[in-house]
Structure 1
Amino acid sequence: MKCKFSISFVLNFFLLTALLPKYVFAQGEIISIETKNHALVLNVTGKKDLNTIYLGKKLANKEEYAAISSAYKQTEDYTEILNSAYTPSGSRNLVEPAITATHADGNNSLDLRYIKHEIKTLKPGVSLTKIYLKDPVYPFEVSLFYKTYFNEDVVEQWTEISHKEKGLVTLHKYASANLHIKRNDFWLRQFYGDWAKEMQAEESKITHGIKTLDSKLGTRANLFQPPVFMVSFNKPATETEGEVLFGSLQWSGNFRTDLELDHQDNLRIISGINNFASPYALKANEVFTTPVFMYTFSAEGKGLASRNLHNWAREYKLLDGNGERLTLLNNWEATYFDFDEKILKDLLKSTKKLGVDLFLLDDGWFANKYPRNGDVAGLGDWQENKKKLPNGISSLVTEATANGVKFGIWIEPEMVNPKSELYEKNPDWVIKQPQREEHYFRNQLVLDLSNPKVQDFVFGVVDGLFTKNPELAYIKWDCNAVIYNAHSAYLKNQSHLYIEYVRGLYKVLEKIRTKYPKVPIMLCSGGGGRVDYAALQYFTEFWPSDNTDPLERIFIQWENSYFYPAISSANHVTDWGKQPIKFRTDVAMMGKLGFDIVIDHLKENDLKFAQQSVKNYDAVKHIIWKGDQYRLSHPKKDDVAAMLFVSKDKASALLCNYLVNNRYGAGSKFPVKLEGLDPNKKYKLTETNLYPETKSATDESKVYSGDFLMKVGFNPQVNKDRASVILKIEAQ
């Protein structure tokens, strides 16, 4: 039997075939959130669920995003929201939620359905996508925000939660972001630490269940666990290869990131404020705005992801990220608490002698009834100590000006010693349980920044210093205590304390920056106990660690360098460690250089070296602060740690090399392959920061192509006699 087809049938058949992929693949509206190289793709289902269908390299054809889901043949999703873009609890969900709430009528269920979305351009290269979700039963709404930085490949996410119910709604969990990623395997690189042991790294394969990274310290939240992390897809990423996501919450208090590998072998990343002891009672029409979760994705290894973040931070997040910085001399390790006006004036002369920009007076300059002669008393009483400084801070500022340098000062305005006038007069300003024995961290308690009066007091500490001393040029802001016995005499709802403390801190910092927008301020917290991009919006730099042993600092600064640009890292030359001053100085040059030594105690050649190193640093600091950073040889894997900074125009670079292994014969046996240069340019290498009366082992007459230096490399000849080598690389 022969089949006969009409011409119209054949035409209709081919037309249907041409359109078939769209019918097969279409699942609803597609929302693609894209940067230059990356895409996060969301899908609105027929039931108006908002789900994630893709996170990875951007596709050339946006229409093909709709085909992604059908390419996966995984086990059943019984809930239809396993890949939810913001997972609610109490309805269909069976995994870790992003949001949990109890409605005003006591019901614990929540369902969020898509209403609409809008996209707008904020400025060239920066866009904002807002997606509206609503519970179909309750007047409960959630808005998801995705702010994209196109050229930097960075995405910021946060959430707004509100309702119009008759009574309070209790938020039990309120994440900022909820990512869903499909790959074969996942590897987590996380960080841990303690005082003087910040940013210790460990990497492991993510297995089924939930891995939680969190802090419950209230303040100084990064002490044991920083909020930054990396996740590699399929295999551990290297500096130059592999898919990797860098993530972090921008919040200076308790944080929580859950990484859940579900029964489909997909990874869910949920990050936000830690809901520990913090159920939030939300009033009708009040908007609860979560902090920002930030991430960048790279398909070309950790190095590119790191440079993405550096570019983004300098341009959009770090205060004055493309500006200048001051080199300084600090008195802390020279004097500790034991100083007077004469000693400080001598140190001011040393500041000029060394050639740095500023003298920083550290802890111990204040309090009279309970003098600050140690860390047991005086904190909170911010008047000059009359015995140490009979003529006040102003005389030191005047002396600094006369010596041609600037003057800066240390404060710790969030904390108080029980042995202080502030504590005696305002015990209700202190976070403590009224019925329980006080427990101290470094002999301190934390002031209650949820209280507006305390906020005014802390602002007044800074404002008072600048009002009395208009030429004051720098602040070191410290934060040494964590919150014990959490209780506020001001707040009616104690479960809000951890959140309101941080909100209060930001109100103070915002007020300071409104009045003093450009004064450099160092973010310090007994070392690196409070480093995050929410805080760094108000600070020009941070103190990575009180551990200034240069060998230890190589590792700490190395790990920090993945997430924070060199211009933000305050690195000081001190007497910690047994290494010579050249090694200590060369290590400190990997960021913002400073000194914390007694200049007059230096040997003649050490002084000459220190003075010359400041001049050498001034000649190359623009490359370190504003160039592209490449980690070439890892201190945990190789005898030599090698870090490269390349100017944006590829005309100059700085290669920093450090011996990290003291075993016999350790050194640079192989050439170090450079990155980021122009393969077609010719480059000359010269050694800088040489110690007096020593000669370089580098043949400075040779010229190399960028192609050669990146494919073959250059041997800096590092060994026990040349433990640190700094090389300038200049295009000819």
Structure 2
Amino acid sequence: MKKIALLSTAFLFSISLLYAQPANIIEVSTNHINYLFTGTPGATLYQNYLGTSLKKESYGNLKDATEAYVGAGMKDVFEPAVRVVHADGNPSLDLRFVKVQTQKTNSNLTETIIYLKDPVYLTEVNLHFKSFYNEDVITTWTEIINKEKSNISLSHYASSMLHFNADKYFLTQFHGDWAREMDMLESELTSGIKIIDSKLGSRANMYQSPVFFLANNRQATETEGEVIAGTLAWTGNFQFLFEIDRTNRLRVLTGINPFASTFSLKPGETFSTPEFIFTYSNSGKGQASRNLQKWARKYAVLDGEESRMTLLNNWEATHVKFDEEKLVELFDGAKQLGVDLFLLDDGWFGNKYPRNDDKTGLGDWQEDRKKLPNGISYLVKEATAKGIKFGIWLEPEMVSPKSELYEKHPDWVLKLPNREEAYQRNQLILDLINPKVQDFVFDLVDKMMIKNPDLAYIKWDNNRFMTNTYSPYLKKDQSRLYIDYTLGFYKIMQRIRAKYPHLPIMLCAGGGGRTDYGALKYFTSFWPSDNTDPVERVFIQWGYSNFFPTNTISSHVTSMGKQSLKFRTDVAMMGKLGYDIKVNGMTPDELSFSRSAVQNYKQLSPIIWFGDLYRLISPYEQDRAVLMYVDSTKNKAVLFSYNLYLRKKQIFEKVKLQGLYPQKEYLIKETNLMPGSLAENPENGKLYTGEYLMNIGLNVSPAKLKPVTSTVLEIISE
């Protein structure tokens, strides 16, 4: 059987077969979640329940049932999960339950497949579920199989269809623009349809992020309320659709955006959707975030449970104006800071069309002989000699019209025939659907690594989204373009990871234009935003922290903004720390502080990267932000407090901590201080029980408040 496989996680396995009997309850469950269905052979599959775990003896009392995965064209008149037009023109799909298969792969992972089939047209739909017991996370995707003798047309193909029955529904979405990523907005859903989507193709998350919270009955806080946190593992056009019907029931459809993407499915072909990932919490958004972060580190992010490198980027120091000698001098700055790696950014390539600005050279990935006469190999060697690693910037999916690559292969570019070319940042997008283009991109990385085996890091950028979009390779069948482009990207990354499984690669897309778990299985971190102003970054990183682990969120100290170096550093330390700054422009005290901060970060990073995150005070609710990370033993914690733009004589209450042992005593120690500075926080050096800290709290914002200042506290069990 030929498959159109959208999921690299899909695989075959030996399973024990359980044929459902009449009124058989099908469980997809974790430690604290039940997701329950009723399947009767030959009848409709129903969703009966999604929420906190129930006792099995309560299952028989579940009366609320909604068709679990609705096919278009039958009795249901609301938004369908799947729509098929058959060869005879019949636009309906009547899905009936066939059987269920389940396997407990290990003590933590259970896999379930629910088989559905149209009894007349023989189209099959398989609903896949993975339930992660300890992390309380469920992933789900759908296979649609054409068992007919002719092609069928597939225009809707949801990864999941969730049903809810509550008095009210509150949606938290995350949106923005370049340099304003992950703005958080909560609103009450009302009758009708609300859609969050992207039609951008590449850099798909520029305006809307593929994540959401959904609270039932009342708005959820960090610690209270019933909430679903969901996201899609797809690096392309997505759609989340929320529809309230006339009885106030809510259906939530998630998956690839069907916009301009109607598929013709041949006999025997299978269409597999990407995974929708979700968790449920009845104790607020904070627990939902911790569920996703634990799951992601273990299952969804490349080397998610491994350490990360600190780095110095040259961009602010040089932009594209540098030479070999200048770069080697900058290595000394990395050495002085004590970071692990030096990252060479844009501007190192091109000879016929040298990359001296953003108008030329993309696609011509040979070293600029004037800037780098001895090539990348020399820089790798010199960096190694100074005790640091070397990394490099690439934008492999793009091409400059003024480049040798474009001159040789104009047919490798996405662009409309008979129309003027449409540029963003003076560039076009390579057609990753074309196998020759996939080979070109893979060979770029492969040849660079073969020539420079000690190359230790890649920053993979993507600086434009799709407009005037047409694939010369697909010719007339353009409805496959958006999906096949994303699949082409995955194919390239799969080849790279097969040969270089642990090479750290940061995912960048003009900032946070690609932030999803479809890509993060191939990348170790992502770049949240080109906006590195630390006050703005408090909000941006706060938003990402709802759905992604800290060690994936790259956060650099730069010169953007007028805040103190300490404030900029403290904000960057709440993520994966790096620097993009002129080290030779630092004062001796600033350099001493930064070197000490890097050492301090390396000591604290296991707690920051792998600890449980508690968001204590939101910058959306007060003129400050407070959060803390607690290690798995609950013996150590790190608290970050950021005072933002304050009113005169503003007074803040104490902050109640979370995640500690009530009976243990904890020492409070202010850290990350400027040279010669004494601890200013009044709690420094004091000893409290966990019970006191969680019920009374700490004074992390003392009476003499100063705007745009920060405090970092270590909390250590005695």
TM-score under structure 2 normalisation? 0.95
Task: Give me the CA root mean square deviation.
Answer: 1.3
Is the contact made by 1:380 and 1:416 (CA closer than 8 Å) also made in structure 2?
yes
The AA in structure 2 aligned to 1:450 is I
Query: How many Å apart are 1:46 and its aligned residue?
Result: 7.7
Structure 1 residues 622-661: aligned runs within 5 Å: 622-661=606-645
Structure 1 residues 301-312: aligned runs within 5 Å: 301-312=284-295
Structure 1 residues 293-442: aligned runs within 5 Å: 293-442=276-425
The AA in structure 2 aligned to 1:41 is L
Could you tell me how far apart the structure 1 residues matched to 2:428 and 2:707 are?
Answer: 48
1:149 corresponds to 2:135: no
Structure 1 residues 551-700: aligned runs within 5 Å: 551-666=535-650, 669-697=652-680, 698-700=682-684
Query: How many Å apart are 1:124 and its aligned residue?
Result: 2.1
Query: 3-state DSSP class of the match of 2:277?
Result: strand
Query: How many Å apart are 1:47 and its aligned residue?
Result: 5.7
Per the alignment, residue 224 of structure 2 pairs with 241
Is the contact made by 2:656 and 2:693 (CA closer than 8 Å) also made in structure 1?
yes
Query: 3-state DSSP class of the match of 2:210?
Result: coil
Query: How many Å apart are 1:558 and its aligned residue?
Result: 0.4
Change in 2 beyond 3 A, CA 1:631/1:126: same
Per the alignment, residue 28 of structure 1 pairs with 23
Query: How many Å apart are 1:202 and its aligned residue?
Result: 0.7
Query: How many Å apart are 1:27 and its aligned residue?
Result: 7.7
The AA in structure 2 aligned to 1:617 is Y
Is the contact made by 1:652 and 1:730 (CA closer than 8 Å) also made in structure 2?
yes
CA deviations on 1:362-406 (whole Å, 9 max, x unpaired) are 011001111111111100110001111111011100110010000
Query: 3-state DSSP class of the match of 2:411?
Result: helix
Query: How many Å apart are 1:335 and its aligned residue?
Result: 1.1
Is the contact made by 1:639 and 1:666 (CA closer than 8 Å) also made in structure 2?
no
Query: 3-state DSSP class of the match of 2:209?
Result: coil
Could you tell me how far apart the structure 2 residues matched to 1:662 and 1:363 are?
Answer: 38
Could you tell me how far apart the structure 1 residues matched to 2:73 and 2:706 are?
Answer: 63
- Of 60, 69, 72, the residue aligned with 1:66 is 60
- Of 30, 37, 40, the residue aligned with 2:32 is 37
Query: How many Å apart are 1:123 and its aligned residue?
Result: 2.2
Per the alignment, residue 17 of structure 1 pairs with none
Could you tell me how far apart the structure 1 residues matched to 2:685 and 2:312 are?
Answer: 36
Could you tell me how far apart the structure 2 residues matched to 1:419 and 1:85 are?
Answer: 52
Is the contact made by 1:433 and 1:485 (CA closer than 8 Å) also made in structure 2?
yes
1:477 corresponds to 2:463: no
Could you tell me how far apart the structure 1 residues matched to 2:602 and 2:262 are?
Answer: 51
Query: How many Å apart are 1:721 and its aligned residue?
Result: 7.2
Could you tell me how far apart the structure 2 residues matched to 1:46 and 1:370 are?
Answer: 66
Query: How many Å apart are 1:678 and its aligned residue?
Result: 0.6
Could you tell me how far apart the structure 1 residues matched to 2:592 and 2:671 are?
Answer: 14
Is the contact made by 1:650 and 1:676 (CA closer than 8 Å) also made in structure 2?
yes
Is the contact made by 2:198 and 2:208 (CA closer than 8 Å) also made in structure 1?
yes
1:189 corresponds to 2:140: no
CA deviations on 1:389-445 (whole Å, 9 max, x unpaired) are 111011100110010000000000001111111111001110011211111111111
- Of 205, 209, 214, the residue aligned with 1:222 is 205
Change in 2 beyond 3 A, CA 1:507/1:721: closer
Query: Considering only CA atoms, is the larger Rg found in Structure 1 or Structure 2?
Result: 1
Structure 1 segments of 4+ aligned residues over 3 angstroms from their partners: 698-701
Per the alignment, residue 509 of structure 1 pairs with 493
Is the contact made by 1:479 and 1:525 (CA closer than 8 Å) also made in structure 2?
yes
Query: 3-state DSSP class of the match of 2:480?
Result: helix
5+ long unaligned stretches in structure 2: 1-20
Could you tell me how far apart the structure 1 residues matched to 2:334 and 2:621 are?
Answer: 38
Residue identity (%): 53
The AA in structure 2 aligned to 1:68 is L
Is the contact made by 2:311 and 2:342 (CA closer than 8 Å) also made in structure 1?
yes
Per the alignment, residue 15 of structure 1 pairs with none
The AA in structure 2 aligned to 1:539 is F
TM-score under structure 1 normalisation? 0.93
Per the alignment, residue 22 of structure 1 pairs with none
CA deviations on 1:12-46 (whole Å, 9 max, x unpaired) are xxxxxxxxxxxxxx982211211110111111258
Is the contact made by 1:666 and 1:720 (CA closer than 8 Å) also made in structure 2?
no
Query: How many Å apart are 1:305 and its aligned residue?
Result: 0.3
Per the alignment, residue 8 of structure 2 pairs with none
CA deviations on 1:485-531 (whole Å, 9 max, x unpaired) are 22111114110011100001000001101100011110100000000
Query: How many Å apart are 1:63 and its aligned residue?
Result: 3.5
5+ long unaligned stretches in structure 1: 1-25, 73-81
Per the alignment, residue 237 of structure 2 pairs with 254
Is the contact made by 1:45 and 1:51 (CA closer than 8 Å) also made in structure 2?
no
Per the alignment, residue 695 of structure 2 pairs with 711
- Of 124, 146, 171, the residue aligned with 2:107 is 124
- Paired residues, number: 694
The AA in structure 2 aligned to 1:67 is N
